[in-house]
Amino acid sequence: MNHWSNGPQQNPYQPPNPHQAYVDPRQVWQPRGYEFSPSEETVFNKAGTWSLVLGVLTCVRALLDFTTVPMGGIITIVVAVSLIMASSAFKKITNTRGNDIQHLMGALVSLNHLFIVRLIALVLFVGAILFVVAITGVAMVAFMQAAPGGR
Amino acid sequence: MMTGQGPYGPPPYGGQPWHAAPHHYAPQPTGYEFNPQEEVTIERVGKNARRWGVASMVGGGLSLLLGGAVVALAFTVHEALFHTVGILGGALVLIGIPPLATGWSYYAAGRALRAVHTSRGDDVSHVLRALRGLTTGFQIEAIVLGLTLALMIALKVAVHALQSGMRL
């Protein structure tokens, strides 16, 4: 089979369609498909490996947390999933070609989720501690006032 | 026209290759600039990384201060309690060190990500610097978490073994 048998070929040098608006390719050029160099990919690979290690260990911790504090276990699972998703996106940067920036953005979004969940958990934790301290303080004051000889 | 084939003819022999775009249009291997939408995402991650870094450093610093205070207290309490209070203080100091280190790493990573938004011409190197910081944070967290989990599992096994021995 030769190349003539593939049906009518379009002449690559034919004039453009006069009805089609001319678009200057220099104006539509987008820096898509940016590829990181091998030395840069090493950094992404390392980040992916360590976020995967941390994600797996966090999963194990989540399983242990579920037995004691179910709420903590849920938060830890979300953190672990974010880390594993970030790791997957980092690995795609090194293992695939043509969409490095898109994969990088995916990894950064996952890391953003990780930080947001951790910050919310911290606020809830500090809030819970303050609530317990406040309740204990109120209870102690009420107990001292109710006790005989209290002021 | 050099070739006499019109503007839509094949490229002429010799001279500049047709695909050699002018310098300022050609994609550069370095010096990639993220578009505004990407910069917003990067800036958001940077902001949250800095927040988490500061929170970690505050937590670690408080634990370190409390541990130091407890260790100092150990020298004033009765001799029988010295070891118990001293160990408690030492543990608090040890617990405070990793969050300080990871907090600093995340904060530095957040600053590098902010630099992507605020500067021009070196976006990729800023992102790589941020990723190195994040990786350091992940490494410290993974090592500490691995040791903690190993300790927890060893304790559970020990407790289980003790309980089994007592039953026998």
Is it the case that residue B2 has pLDDT exceeding 50? no
Cβ–Cβ contact A66 with B under 8 A: no
Side chain identity at B149, as an amino acid letter? L
Spatial distance between the Cα atoms of B128 and B139, rounded to a whole number of angstroms: 16
The answer to which of A19-23, B57-61, B63-67, B113-117 has the lowest mean pLDDT is A19-23
pLDDT in tens, B26-49: 444 456 888 889 999 999 999 999
Do the Cβ atoms of B138 and A54 come within 8 Å? Answer: yes
| Cβ–Cβ gap B138/A50 under 8 Å | yes
Whose structure tokens read 């026998």?
B168
Q: Give the CA dihedral B80, B82, B85, B87, nearest 10 degrees.
A: -110
Among B60, B47, B40, residue whose Cα is nearest residue B117: B40
CA-CA-CA-CA torsion sign (A17, A21, A27, A33): negative
- Report the run of H or E that residue B52 belongs to, with start and end: helix B36-74
List, for chain A, all residue ranges whose pLDDT scores fall below the cut of 70.
Answer: 1-12, 14-33, 149-151
As given in the structure block, the two tokens for residue B125 are 């190197």
Residue type, B166: M
* pLDDT of res. B140: 96
A5/chain B closest Cα distance in angstroms: 24
Percent pLDDT > 90 in chain B is 58
A64 touches chain B (CB under 8 A): yes
pLDDT at B5 over 60: no
pLDDT value at position B127?
A: 94
ipTM of the complex: 0.75
In B, residues 100-159, which contact A (CB 8 Å cutoff)?
106, 124, 127-128, 131-132, 134-135, 138-139, 141-142, 145-146, 148-149, 152
- Give A130→chain B minimum CA distance, Å: 15
Structure tokens, B37: 């939408």
Distance CA B61, CA A137 (A): 26
A22 touches chain B (CB under 8 A): no
Q: Which of A87, A39, A51, A104 is nearest to B140 (CA)?
A: A51
pTM to 2 decimals?
A: 0.75
State the distance between the two ends of chain B, measured CA to CA, in whole angstroms. Answer: 102
pLDDT greater than 80 at residue B6:
no
User: Which tokens sit at B3?
Assistant: 């070739």
Q: Which residue in B2, B31, B12, B96 sits closest to B57, CA to CA?
A: B96
What does pLDDT average to over chain A? Answer: 84
**Chain A interface includes B51 (CB < 8 A):** yes
Average pLDDT, chain B: 83
Could you read off the pLDDT of B121-164 as tens digits, one per residue?
Answer: 888 999 999 999 999 999 999 999 999 999 988 998 999 999 88
Q: How many other β-carbons are positioned within 10 Å of the β-carbon of residue A120?
A: 12
Question: Inter-chain contact B32–A58, Cβ cutoff 8 Å?
Answer: no
Interface test with A, best of B134, B147, B149 (most A CBs within 10 A): B134
Among chain B residues, the shortest Cα distance to A60 is held by B149
Task: Identify whether the C-beta of residue B57 lies closer than 8 Å to the C-beta of residue B99.
Answer: yes
B51 → chain A, closest CA residue: A119
What's the pLDDT tens digit per position in B98-127? Answer: 999 999 999 999 999 999 988 888 889 999
Residue B168 has a pLDDT of: 61
Cα separation, B70 vs B81, in Å, equals: 12
